[in-house]
Amino acid sequence: MTVLLTWVTTDAERTLIRDTWPDDDQVVAMDELTDDELGALLPDVTVMVGYMRTIPRHRLSEATGLRMVHLLGHGVDQLLTEEVVELLRDRGVVVARSNPCAIPIAEFVVMNMIALSRRVLSMHTALAGRGDWSNDLVARRGQGVLGGELHGATLGIIGYGNIGREIHSRVTAFGMRVRAVARRPNDLTDAGLEYVHPWADMSAFLGRCEHIVLTLPLTAQTRGLIGREQVQAMRPGSFLYNVSRGALVDEDALFDGLSSGHLAGAALDVFASEDTVGRTGYPFSRPLHQFNTVLTPHYSGATAEARRRALTTVGENLRRLRAGQPVSNQAGLDRGF
């Protein structure tokens, strides 16, 4: 098979590919080809591997021998446009995901839950920047000005997939209760959750949790899921964590919820601006950082271990494809995830 790498690989990645992928596949890096060379190669390409933003969607029609598109991450929302879905479906092309980042994202969420609930950033800034030991705040800790504990608090997970399960397994060690909201609650009866709310019960679900984490895919149905109504439905003094897609959240509504004090904090690893202006500059038009927030550049899953898992999964699926077996982590073209 001819496998086209659509991203710029590192030396470590190339070594891992040599060690874990089938030896007899021809692996070609797209960035090393001229446009004419790419055009000549595309009809022979069996598999494309890369990110949503690097798969050459405008040239997929030229890849007449394509059998699989394999993404290195979790999401497929930017790749599966109506035109691409139709083309892939008509040709019987499989779309697979590596899903490598559940562990680091879960650790990232727990890190931020502790940092925000204990006001770590503001305390660090006061002490390191001004020599302020926050003695007045410490004296008034009984009023909750220094935050609270995770123990006994309730975490609500919206999107109980592989990432949600990894988060769940970790926060129970802190003595937290965990709820989820699901379109098919009966599917989660054995997940060990305190309660599973139906989707129609979203407002009640939000009001029963001190912490809310978004780990669901971006689709036409979930875009703008957390708007003004949902922010107001959240429990006063609660926290929001978004490690999925920025467009799930109305960021103006979130800003206003933080500004009013209704929300105690938020951690955002993703922003709506990524899909418009790209990953450049301050990610929002209003100063979210002035509140009890953590803003990070879509890196919650960016670990060396996750990359090794991603490339190893690709290698396993290449063998499955060659053997005519179902590949793992296959995306549903009609579902969009």
Torsion of CA 12, 13, 15, 16, to 10 degrees: 120
- Other CB atoms within a 10 A radius of the CB of residue 90 amount to 8
By C-alpha distance, which of 115, 108, 109, 121 is closest to 290?
121
Phi, psi of 98 (to 5 degrees): -85, -30
Torsion of CA 246, 186, 155, 77, to 10 degrees: -10
- 3-state secondary structure (DSSP) of residue 214: strand
Q: Which residue has the tokens 């092309």?
A: 93
| Catalytically annotated residue among 245, 251, 307, 309 | 245
62 is catalytic: no
Q: 329 near 313, Cβ under 8 Å?
A: yes
| Catalytically annotated residue among 119, 179, 274, 309 | 274
Q: 49 near 316, Cβ under 8 Å?
A: no
Round to whole Å and give the CA distance between 196 and 20.
40
The sign of the CA dihedral 1, 33, 49, 65 is negative
Which residues lie below 8 Å from residue 139, measured CB to CB, with a gap of 6+?
none
- 3-state secondary structure (DSSP) of residue 218: coil
Which residues lie below 8 Å from residue 11, measured CB to CB, with a gap of 6+?
none
179 is catalytic: no
| Catalytically annotated residue among 298, 308, 320, 322 | 298
Tell me which amino acid residue 44 is.
D
- Other CB atoms within a 10 A radius of the CB of residue 3 amount to 22
What is the strand order of the sheet 2-5 is part of? 26-29, 2-5, 47-50, 68-71, 94-97
245 is catalytic: yes
- The catalytic site residues sit at 245, 274, 298
